[in-house]
Amino acid sequence: AQTVTQSQPEMSVQEAETVTLSCTYDTSESDYYLFWYKQPPSRQMILVIRQEAYKQQNATENRFSVNFQKAAKSFSLKISDSQLGDAAMYFCAYVGGKLIFGQGTTLQVKP
């Protein structure tokens, strides 16, 4: 069965610094998607970045980038130049035969 694990319940970063959120998953499928979603205090889930498993190149969206290690089944999110508005809960999600979310990581950004 597929699983998604976010081992960091809480993280903090200084404004303008860089932080990396970890996500590991387990699957026997070869074709799937991975996503990072952000849930700010408003609680609306917002897509941050997506990665197709067949693509070797790591996805990048402005200050957000991923480190996708398919063999290691690792999908970490790097936030560069952190801003106060980045404070939120971040969820890693696996989409293949099933759609599975990790437990979430709460990110605090300190001014």
- Taking the complex as a whole, how short is the minimal distance between the CB of residue 23 and other proteins, in angstroms? 12
Shorter beta-carbon distance to other proteins: residue 50 or 78: 50
Which two structure tokens, joined as six digits, stand for 22?
Answer: 């970890």
Least distance to other proteins from the beta carbon of 103, Å? 4
What span, in angstroms and rounded, lies between the C-alpha atoms of 84 and 97?
Answer: 36
Q: Which is nearer to other proteins, 82 or 104 (CB)?
A: 104
d(CA 64, CA 76): 10
Q: Considering only residues 9, 12, 15, 40, which one is a binding residue for other proteins as defined by CB under 8 A?
A: 9
Binds other proteins by CB under 8 A, chosen from 23, 79, 93, 109: 93
Number of residues interacting with other proteins: please give it, by CB under 8 A: 23
How far is it, in rounded angstroms, from Cα 52 to Cα 96? 10
Write the CA distances from 16 to 29, 72, 75, 93, integer angstroms: 38, 29, 23, 26
Residues within window 46-65 making contact with other proteins, judged by CB under 8 A: 46-47, 50
